[in-house]
A and B are shown apart, each in its own frame.
Chain A
Amino acid sequence: MSARVRALVGFAAVALILGFAPNMQESLEFPRFYLIFLFTMFFWIAQASSWNILTGYSGYFSFGQGAFYGVGVYTVGVLVVKQGWSFMTALPVAGLLAGLTGLFLGLVVFRVRRLTGEIFALTTLAIAFVLASVARLSPSIDGGTGIFMTGTPLPGFLGEFTTAAYRLTLAITLITVVVAYLIHDSRLGWGLFAIRDDEPVAEGLGVPTFRYKMVALGANALLAGLMGGVWALQLGFVTVDDVFNIRVPLFVILMSVLGGMQHWMGPVIGAVIITTLTDRLNSAGLTDVNQIIIGGMLVVLALAVREGVYVRMRRRWVTTAVSFFGVLGLARLLDLNDSLISDFAYAMVATVVMMLVPDRVWARFGELFGRSHPAEEPIGAEDLTRTGP
């Protein structure tokens, strides 16, 4: 079985387990807010992964995530509430419109050779501001009054409202991650990596750079819009200020940088860590210091683990497994906390701390115990850019 088939089987298994988790809620007796928690986590995994398809793979630093997400939210809001469409017909339109927004942006910025680096980043940021103003000024979209999004009917086969919304979020997230995975090992992915490293050289070797950047931006925007469309379901009240703010673009950047931008798993890991910690800090009543802690952690990680946590976790997989499952088991045994999420949070923090040890120190540590650990391999591009044979 090839690596790709194995991975796709793995994705399918994850889909089945998580998809039927709501049915097992009663028999496993886990609290309902676990589903809400997973719901939030999926949202961020999808947002970060879709962002990474453009920015992580091609190196074009985008702040446009908020715009694409916003187009998704507002498309569903307007079509379902104001036009009376069914949600399931509005959702694809949300993705489509967001995708078109991305392609339009791409047509403008990728046609002008000078629009790279910070100018590109600023241009993508500006798009969100423009769209916010359009939404605010146009009564048929928002008009400054906001949109109430309660009790949107969802297809019955998906279960009652929360369960259905959970499953839709899961579905979009899985699609996003699978797309990011498939691109990572394809010609498209490698073309994008080449663009990231040296775009003129890539073009000269035969990479159709303009087309590839358009595809990456289009995929990024479409997936972000789809997720935005589903997320509208749980927003309740959609306002311009809540939707088109800096939160989404900022958090996807934080998550991807933390996890690592060169591999499809990086944003996934980053999103899992940040959403778990945020959730725990909030439930511990530390909402105010939450951003200080997360921000501080990011600064430390960005300086100490520049390649991203995921790359190091793979190189030190033994340590990762031992510290994660060790701490998780210990926390369960000691019954530190009645919440499983807290135990996961402890395990994650322990694992991340283990990744902070610099490679050089790590190698010494290994010698001390007279063993050669995979951790001692130099940081090669192999670790950064590929999976499988």
Chain B
Amino acid sequence: MSILQVTSVGKRFGGVVAVDEISLQVERGEILGLVGPNGSGKSTLINLLSGFYPADKGLVIFDGNDVGELAAHRIAALGIARTFQIPRPFHTMTPRENIAVSYMFGRSPHNLVEARAAAEEWLAFTGLASVADVGVDQLTLHQLKFLELARALATHPTLLLLDEVLAGLNPTEINQSMEMIRRINDRGITLVIVEHVIRAITALSSRIVVLDQGRVVATGEPREVMSDPAVVAAYLGTKRRDAAS
């Protein structure tokens, strides 16, 4: 049974249709890549799935629960966590405290003492132990992105939505992050990753869903999807047809 079943969801902001009509499903344990040109509705979809705003129409079933109308904190309690494209740490807290506060809420309630202990695990997992107690303003972009990951993981999600974790990183950092994403998946966490770095997403994903103008234009194995003429036209641009195949 799939962990997430999205049926005909749509969202518009005033006259702008951000998500026209999207249906897709995410299988338990997989890494699903979500690609598409800017404005194709990827981030909006992530926001809808995590409850940042409600969908105008459609159905979202997560783990057998209808989460379409739920408040974001209830969705988090059911096991969906997300990261932000531009890191949004709690700026008056240290990285350790950022992770601890996330652990205190998330899927099950914990007190401050338990949370401080649990933060240790995720600091180690993401390699942030050396900067655990500095102000978050002293972290590099790479570290901030890993803090986003650590904070999302501390909620103990079963489904993790990653919104452009690799954007703005250099090749070495991208490789480290890809390794991290694999290790997260090895823990049995299902992932939906939104990404522009094609090399990374074809290497990581078990399946890819291509969006364009708020609709799904292709679904399937990374290689075959990326050579689909419709995808090439929509996403990579017609002029680069040769390069894509």
Does the CB pair A187–B94 fall under 8 Å?
no
Interface status of B133 (Cβ within 8 A of chain A): yes
Interface status of B59 (Cβ within 8 A of chain A): no
Interface status of B84 (Cβ within 8 A of chain A): yes
Quick one: which of B90, B110, B112 contacts A197, CB cutoff 8 A? B90
Contacts of B76 in A (CB 8 A): 203-206
In the complex, what's the smallest C-beta–C-beta distance from A210 to chain B, in angstroms?
8
Question: Which residue of chain B lies nearest to A380 when distances are taken between CB atoms in the complex?
Answer: B135
- Complex CA gap A379/B50 in Å reads 34
Contacts of B51 in A (CB 8 A): 204
Does the CB pair B94–A382 fall under 8 Å?
yes
Known contacts A187-B105, A187-B111, A197-B92: A207-B135 contact under CB 8 Å: no
Quick one: which of A185, A203, A378, A385 contacts B73, CB cutoff 8 A? A203
- Complex CA gap A386/B71 in Å reads 29
Question: Which residue of chain A lies nearest to B154 when distances are taken between CB atoms in the complex?
Answer: A205
Does the CB pair B109–A187 fall under 8 Å?
yes
Interface status of A200 (Cβ within 8 A of chain B): yes
Question: Which residue of chain A lies nearest to B136 when distances are taken between CB atoms in the complex?
Answer: A381
Does the CB pair A194–B112 fall under 8 Å?
no
Q: From DSSP, what is the main secondary structure of chain A's interface residues?
A: helix
- Complex CA gap A382/B92 in Å reads 8
Cβ contacts B73-90/A at 8 Å (1 or 0 each):
100110001101000111
Quick one: which of A194, A204, A207, A209 contacts B82, CB cutoff 8 A? A204
Interface size on B, residues (CB 8 A): 38
Quick one: which of A190, A204, A380 contacts B101, CB cutoff 8 A? A190
Contacts of B88 in A (CB 8 A): 198, 201
Give residues 76-132 of B contacting A (CB, 8 Å): 76-77, 81-82, 84, 88-94, 97, 100-102, 104-107, 109-113
- Complex CA gap A190/B102 in Å reads 10
Does the CB pair B90–A201 fall under 8 Å?
yes
In the complex, what's the smallest C-beta–C-beta distance from A329 to chain B, in angstroms?
37
Interface status of B151 (Cβ within 8 A of chain A): yes
Interface status of B155 (Cβ within 8 A of chain A): yes
Contacts of A204 in B (CB 8 A): 50-52, 72-73, 76, 81-82
Known contacts A187-B112, A262-B92: A205-B135 contact under CB 8 Å: no
Interface status of B134 (Cβ within 8 A of chain A): yes
Known contacts A187-B111, A190-B112, A206-B106: A381-B101 contact under CB 8 Å: no
Contacts of B91 in A (CB 8 A): 197-198, 381
Does the CB pair B92–A381 fall under 8 Å?
yes
- Complex CA gap A262/B104 in Å reads 19
- Complex CA gap A47/B94 in Å reads 30
Question: Which residue of chain B lies nearest to A208 when distances are taken between CB atoms in the complex?
Answer: B73
Interface status of A39 (Cβ within 8 A of chain B): no
- Complex CA gap A196/B92 in Å reads 9
Interface status of A171 (Cβ within 8 A of chain B): no
- Given A196-B92, A382-B94, 7 more contacts at CB 8 Å? A191-B104, A203-B72, A204-B52, A204-B73, A205-B152, A207-B73, A385-B93
